[in-house]
Amino acid sequence: MEKQPILATGRLLLRPFDLADARAVQRLCGDYAVAATTLLPHPYPDGLAEAWIASFHEGVERGDAAAFAVTLAGEGSLIGGVRLRIDPAHARGELGFWVAKHCWGRGYATEAVRAVIEYGFSVLGLHRVHAMHFSRNPASGRVMEKCGMIREGRFREHIRKWGVYEDVDLWGVLREPAGRPGTYVLSPL
């Protein structure tokens, strides 16, 4: 856990998850609207949040994960999560993220995801960050677009979600200080 810093953005503090977050994670990710566009089960079972948080801690220790609880800077309440699943051999990280439904549409996902992409490139030394979302979930693609990612393609019926084969869109961004679309220009320190 100590391996991960706290990332401060304009309105948010991104900090490591703690086991004490488990109840809030279960409540917020237990929302059908969050489960419907992720691989989360619904209803959200007891014990899953604890296991999920513990798996992040192990992943951070191994160097193949980074995970941040997204909290409101003023009051500290948990409103979401962003994680990177890291493949060190290829210096790439796969993003996943969610925001509590009552906080949608305020730019929080974009603010948090941008910070984690920046962290991945500047601190973790990643070369590429990629992500996928259900094609029927354009809000997620819009977040990726606003974070400088480009849409690289679509895997047809790639994921079976609740018994239905679903298309997913693939997005990526490279760490190249060239400023062309799909590359990420690091902010000056």
Point out which residues bind ligand COA (CB under 6 A): 34, 37-38, 97-99, 104-110, 133, 137-140, 142-143
CA-CA distances (angstroms) from residue 68 to 29, 45, 80, 110, 164? 15, 21, 9, 14, 30
Q: How far is the CB of 61 from ligand COA (least distance, A)?
A: 25
Which CB, 3 or 27, lies closer to ligand COA? Answer: 27
Which CB, 34 or 115, lies closer to ligand COA? Answer: 34
Q: Could you give the 3-state DSSP secondary structure of residue 184? A: coil
Which CB, 96 or 176, lies closer to ligand COA? Answer: 96
| Spatial contact of 142 and 102, defined as CB atoms under 8 Å apart | no
Q: How far is the CB of 117 from ligand COA (least distance, A)?
A: 13
Q: Please name which of 122, 28, 119 lies closest in space to residue 71, comparing C-alpha atoms.
A: 28
Q: Could you give the 3-state DSSP secondary structure of residue 141? A: helix
Give the residue carrying structure tokens 């699943």. Answer: 85
Q: How far is the CB of 7 from ligand COA (least distance, A)?
A: 16
Which CB, 169 or 175, lies closer to ligand COA? Answer: 169
CA-CA distances (angstroms) from residue 87 to 6, 73, 84, 168, 180? 22, 30, 9, 21, 24
Q: How far is the CB of 34 from ligand COA (least distance, A)?
A: 4
Which CB, 19 or 139, lies closer to ligand COA? Answer: 139
Q: How far is the CB of 50 from ligand COA (least distance, A)?
A: 20
